């Protein structure tokens, strides 16, 4: 019964994804099933589309920017919560993790109102990066916090006993031991940012179009439907790499 439940759960998750991948090679523009034949025509069309390339570049920029902010803020927050005792520490930890649990539409509306009404910032790539960073921080924070708990402080204390100052200890002892956790958190943060659409819709200005937004806008256009399937299939295949690497790095024994 457990094996049957496992197979059923995996089927619900991965069969629709397999259909998307197969349809990206479907020679029938209307996606007749089963596919009458297979072709690379749509992949060539997607590669030649300037809209896809521009949206891809915007998504990469947003992902890299949000990941950089998340690595800095998430790492510092994890060190503060794990290495120091202060009033309200548990509440601070809750506030850091909360954004990833909030509905995306709530976060998007809150950020949009803040940018417009409070800060007076025009919506654009910068606001998209800030919006993505609000939930990307959580993945870095959780990975670094877990690694710091596993590391303890014995090695760092030994380094200090041997005469190393704080920065030398961090550079030669702490950072090498937590490097894989930082990389795993960064990969997960980039993956989350890359496929985000709800927060992006509320924080992107006119002319800022990420790949998920491009897919949504072209999903119901008959002439673009085959290209949309190709882009979706490519995203599925590309998403496997960072998630796999992050899983391997997070599970690396120490």
Does residue 35 lie in a domain region? no
Q: What is residue 13's predicted lDDT score, i.e. its pLDDT? A: 87
For the chain, residues with pLDDT lower than 70 are 30-32, 222, 246, 249-254
Q: What is residue 183's predicted lDDT score, i.e. its pLDDT? A: 87
Task: Say which DSSP state 208 is in.
Answer: -
CA 89 to chain CA centroid, nearest Å: 26
Query: CB count, 10 Å around CB of 162?
Result: 9
- For 243, the domain range is 72-250
| Domain tally, the chain | 1
Q: What is the pTM of this model?
A: 0.81
Q: What is residue 253's predicted lDDT score, i.e. its pLDDT? A: 45
CA 218 to chain CA centroid, nearest Å: 23
Q: What is residue 72's predicted lDDT score, i.e. its pLDDT? A: 94
Does residue 20 lie in a domain region? no
Q: What is residue 250's predicted lDDT score, i.e. its pLDDT? A: 61
Q: Which H helix or E strand runs over 84?
A: none
**180 CB-near residues (< 8 Å, 6+ apart):** 147, 249, 250, 252
Does residue 56 lie in a domain region? no
Measured CA to CA, the distance from residue 218 to residue 52 in angstroms comes to 11
User: Over the range 128-155, which residues count as b (16 or more CB within 10 Å of their CB) and which as e?
Assistant: bbbbbbbbbbbbbbbbbbbbbeebeeee
Does residue 194 lie in a domain region? yes
**CATH number, domain with residue 76:** 1.10.3720.10
Backbone torsions φ then ψ of 201, nearest 5 degrees: -60, -35
Q: pLDDT for 189-230, tens place per residue?
A: 998 888 888 999 998 877 888 888 888 888 777 677 778 888
The encoded tokens of residue 128 equal: 């998209």
Q: What is residue 254's predicted lDDT score, i.e. its pLDDT? A: 44
Does residue 10 lie in a domain region? no
Does residue 25 lie in a domain region? no
Q: What is residue 100's predicted lDDT score, i.e. its pLDDT? A: 82
């Amino acid at each position: 019964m457990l094996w049957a439940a496992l197979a059923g759960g995996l089927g619900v998750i991965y069969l629709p994804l397999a259909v998307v991948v197969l349809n990206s090679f479907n020679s029938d523009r209307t996606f007749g099933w089963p596919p009458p034949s297979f072709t690379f025509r749509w992949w060539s069309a997607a590669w030649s589309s300037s809209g896809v390339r521009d949206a891809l570049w915007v998504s990469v920029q947003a992902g890299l920017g949000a990941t950089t902010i998340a690595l800095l803020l998430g790492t510092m927050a994890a060190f503060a919560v794990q290495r120091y005792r202060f009033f309200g520490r548990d509440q601070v930890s809750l506030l850091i993790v909360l954004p990833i649990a909030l509905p995306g539409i709530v976060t998007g509306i809150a950020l949009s109102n803040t940018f417009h009404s409070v800060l007076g910032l025009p919506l654009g790539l910068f606001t998209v990066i800030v919006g993505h960073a609000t939930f990307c921080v959580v993945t870095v924070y959780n990975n670094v916090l877990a690694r710091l708990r596993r590391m303890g402080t014995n090695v760092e204390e030994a380094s200090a006993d041997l005469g190393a100052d704080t920065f030398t200890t961090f550079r030669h002892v702490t950072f090498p031991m937590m490097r894989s956790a930082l990389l795993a958190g960064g990969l997960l943060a980039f993956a989350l940012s890359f496929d985000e659409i709800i927060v992006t819709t509320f924080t992107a200005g006119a002319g800022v179009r990420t790949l998920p937004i491009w897919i949504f806008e072209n999903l119901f256009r008959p002439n673009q439907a085959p290209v949309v399937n190709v882009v979706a299939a490519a995203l599925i295949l590309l998403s496997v790499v960072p998630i796999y690497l992050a899983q391997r790095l997070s599970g690396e024994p120490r």
